[in-house]
Structure 1
C-alpha cells in the first residue's frame, strides 16, 4: 500500500502478535447499539414458532428501512435464530419414517423448503407449519440443491443421482421431471433461476454448467438444455446469475449474466 496515498500514519515500532492478542477488547456494542432490533430479537427468542417469512422473505427487501436517528449505527446486520419448530419436525420425521436429515435448504416468498438425505422435500410456511411433503424422487438419492424463482412460486430441486424436478411451491405438485438435461450419473450441485421465468441454470459434479430453457407447447411442458461450460475446461465449483428483477431500469436488464468459479484454469 502507498502510505502517502492512504494517509497511513508512521509507526515507530510494530506491535508483536503477543501484544495484540493481549490487548483488552474495546469493540463491544454499547447498550444503545444493542437496542437496535430488540423487538424482533425478543420475538425470535420468545417463541418456538417464529415467522420464517419475517426473517427470510424476499419481499422484505422492498420495504423502506426506518431507524431512530438518536441511535448510533452498530454495523450489526445478522440475527441468529434457531427454527425450533422445523428442527423438531425434521428430527421426528427422520426417526419415525426414515426421512433422512436435512441436506439442502431454500427460502422463497413465505416458504422454507428443506431437502433431505433420503430424497424428501418438506415445505414449511411462515409459522413453521408443514404445508406439504414430496417424495416422488426418493429413489434419486439425497436432495443436493434447491432454488426458487424470483416470486417464490416455482422451485427447482436437484438430486444426487442427477434428476431435477420443477415443483409448484404452493402445493408441492411436480410440473416437470428433467432426466436428460446433463450427463447421467453426475449429481446436481446447483440449480438457479434467472430473472426470466423460462430460463434456469444447473451445474453438476462433472464441473459442467447447463442452460435450461423451459417450453410449453400445446399444454405440454418441456425443457431444452444447452451446455454453457464444459467441465473438461476446469470444473465449476459454484455459480451465480445476476438478478435484476428489482431494478427494472438497470442497463443490463435485458441481459443474463452468470458468474462462474472454477477450481483450476
Structure 2
C-alpha cells in the first residue's frame, strides 16, 4: 500500500501564497474529501500531490521519496488524477482514450501487452463503459464522458486516485452514480481516494475523512462525524447552517442545510 505525506508544504502562484506549511498524511485505503470555500487552495493542494505543481517550500513524499526527485512515469503508475477540466479530440473513441492510461507502462515504441489490454478492459467494465467503448467522445453525454475519463484514470491501476470536483457539470443522477462508482472502486481495489469536493452533502455521505481548508490552512482533519458539524462548517464557509442526520434504508447520513450568509 502506497503512502503520501506532506511536510511543511508551501504552495504559491507568483507572489500569492496559496497554502502554507501543510502537514498531511494519507497512509491507508480510505476516501478523503478536501472541503472549503472557493479560493481556499483545495485544487492547488491536489495538484501538488500529483507533482503538477512545484512546492515553494516543504515537500510531498510518495512512499517516503520526495515527489520532485521521481520521474513522472513512476509516479503515474501509483498516482492517477482526474482533473476538473478535461480535453481530448471529439473524434477519439472511448477505448482510445482509456488506452492512454497504459502509457506509464510503455516503452518508446512498445505495443500493448496482454496485461495492458486486460487493464483497459477491466477499467471499462468497472465504469460500465464497455458498450460505449467504440463511441466517439463527442457523441457521449456529460456523465458518460466523465466515466470515460475515470476509466482512463483506473486503467493506470493506481494505488492513489485524485479527483478534482468529479461531479462538476453533472446532473444529480449522474453525480450520485459517479459517487457510487468511486465507493465501489475503493471497496474493490482498496485504494486511497482523495477528492476535492464542492458538494458538502456528497462529501459527508461518501467519505471516511474530511479535510477542511481555508486560506491555505487546515482548519480540521478527521472522521466525517468530527468535522461535519456546525462549529466547523459555519466559520469555514461564513454561513449559518443546520447539520442533521437523515435516516434512509437503515443508514444514517449527515446533511448540511445552509440558510443564511454571515
After TM superposition, the score normalised by the length of structure 1 is 0.25
**Greater RCO between the two (CA within 8 Å, min separation 6)?**
2
Larger Rg: 1
Q: Per residue, is there more helix in 1 or in 2?
A: 2
After TM superposition, the score normalised by the length of structure 2 is 0.25
